[in-house]
């Protein structure tokens, strides 16, 4: 009670200092500052002065522009042994097919068998060359996973196939398939025993293959037709002439990546592979 009485009696003395402080504060200190009006229309002047954030190295489609990619250039891709084997197999298959109906005629049968043996030598050589040959002739360069093959096929028929200096994913698997059918077709022919001809494998464990020779050769010719169709389709869909490249060994590099040379190896490797293929064939059919 005494404290309350004291505060009441000295109210003026206590409040005077507080009032003296608040007297210096402006009366409108609580007034809000006016908000700045923001126009909803774009400021064209700021747009003109703002620097462009667009990368000049990108074109309108968002890809690499011409300034960012190297100009097209000719690159040596297919080496001489690869091209020779390719066209030699084409010729020998044609000779074997043309002489396949020479039943009872010793000359035609002999030519047919010799063509088959030569094909077998080239197949073995190509298998060896796929390991010790130049960069784009090796299996590790063009044998890819099925996921890559499927993606390539989809983009090919969408008229936007990715470019490969070597074999594309579809072509790589076609190479393996053709080599396999060539080898099996020749071996089945050497296992035949018909019209006076007795093959070197006719009395061994491979003899049953002789009965499938005609069917295998028919399948081989069908695969060759699919291969030719694929080359033509690739030309019309992508504009790349693979036939000319297989003659000259040169392809046009239109990718932004640096030119990748064919990684050619010494000719002694080709001679060694050919000698090995001939020795294996002779040892096998003797």
**If you average pLDDT over every residue of the chain, what do you get?**
78
The proportion of the chain whose per-residue pLDDT surpasses 90, expressed as a percent, equals: 50
The answer on pLDDT for 62 being more than 50 is no
Q: pLDDT of 95-104, one tens digit each? A: 999 998 866 5
Domain boundary assignment for the chain? 76-252+266-285
pLDDT of residue 254: 64
The answer on pLDDT for 122 being more than 70 is yes
Mean pLDDT to the nearest integer, 1-16: 43
**Strand ranges (E), 119-245:** 193-194, 197-198
- Between 255 and 8, the more confident residue is 255
What is the Cα–Cα distance from 181 to 178, expressed in whole angstroms? Answer: 5
Residue 171 contacts residue 136 (beta carbons within 8 Å): no
The 8-class DSSP code of residue 210 comes to G
pLDDT tier at 9, thresholds 50, 70, 90: very low
Q: pLDDT of 125-164, one tens digit each? A: 999 999 999 999 999 999 999 999 999 989 888 888 888 8
pLDDT tier at 236, thresholds 50, 70, 90: confident
Residue 273 contacts residue 130 (beta carbons within 8 Å): no
Q: pLDDT of 40-57, one tens digit each? A: 444 434 444 444 443 333
What is the Cα–Cα distance from 142 to 127, expressed in whole angstroms? Answer: 14
The answer on pLDDT for 260 being more than 60 is no
Picking from 19-23, 178-182, 218-222, which range would have the lowest pLDDT averaged per residue?
A: 19-23
CATH topology of domain 76-252+266-285: Fumarate Reductase Cytochrome B subunit (1.20.950)
pLDDT of residue 60: 32
Three-state DSSP state, 252: strand
Using a 10 angstrom Cβ sphere, with 0-12 exposed, 13-18 middle and 19 or more buried, the burial of residue 11 is exposed
pLDDT of residue 169: 92
pLDDT of residue 233: 86
The 8-class DSSP code of residue 165 comes to S
Using a 10 angstrom Cβ sphere, with 0-12 exposed, 13-18 middle and 19 or more buried, the burial of residue 113 is buried
The answer on pLDDT for 275 being more than 50 is yes
Q: pLDDT of 159-192, one tens digit each? A: 888 888 889 999 999 999 999 999 999 999 999 9
What is the Cα–Cα distance from 233 to 228, expressed in whole angstroms? Answer: 9
């Amino acid at each position: 009670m005494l404290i309350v009485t004291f505060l009441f009696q000295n109210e003026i003395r206590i409040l005077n200092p507080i009032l003296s402080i608040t007297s210096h504060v402006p009366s409108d200190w609580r007034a809000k500052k006016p908000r700045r009006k923001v126009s909803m229309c774009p400021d064209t002047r700021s747009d003109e002065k703002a620097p462009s954030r667009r990368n000049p190295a990108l074109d309108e489609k968002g890809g690499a522009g011409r300034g960012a990619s190297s100009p097209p250039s000719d690159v040596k891709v297919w080496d001489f042994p690869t091209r020779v084997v390719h066209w030699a197999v084409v010729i020998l298959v044609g000779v074997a097919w043309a002489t396949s109906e020479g039943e009872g005629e010793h000359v035609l049968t002999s030519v047919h068998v010799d063509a088959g043996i030569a094909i077998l030598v080239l197949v073995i050589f190509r298998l060896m060359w796929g390991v010790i040959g130049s960069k784009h002739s090796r299996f590790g360069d063009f044998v890819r996973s099925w996921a890559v093959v499927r993606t390539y096929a989809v983009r090919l028929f969408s008229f936007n196939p990715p470019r490969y200096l070597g074999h594309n994913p579809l072509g790589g698997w076609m190479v393996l398939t053709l080599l396999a059918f060539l080898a099996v077709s020749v071996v089945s022919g050497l296992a035949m025993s018909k019209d006076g001809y007795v093959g070197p494998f006719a009395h061994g464990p491979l003899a049953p293959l002789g009965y499938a020779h005609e069917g295998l050769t028919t399948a081989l010719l069908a695969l060759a037709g699919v291969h030719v169709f694929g080359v033509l389709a690739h030309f019309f869909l992508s504009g790349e002439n693979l036939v000319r490249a297989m003659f000259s060994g040169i392809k046009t590099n239109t990718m932004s990546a640096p030119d990748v040379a064919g990684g050619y190896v010494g000719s002694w490797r080709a001679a060694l592979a050919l000698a090995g293929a001939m020795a294996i064939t002779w040892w096998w059919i003797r």
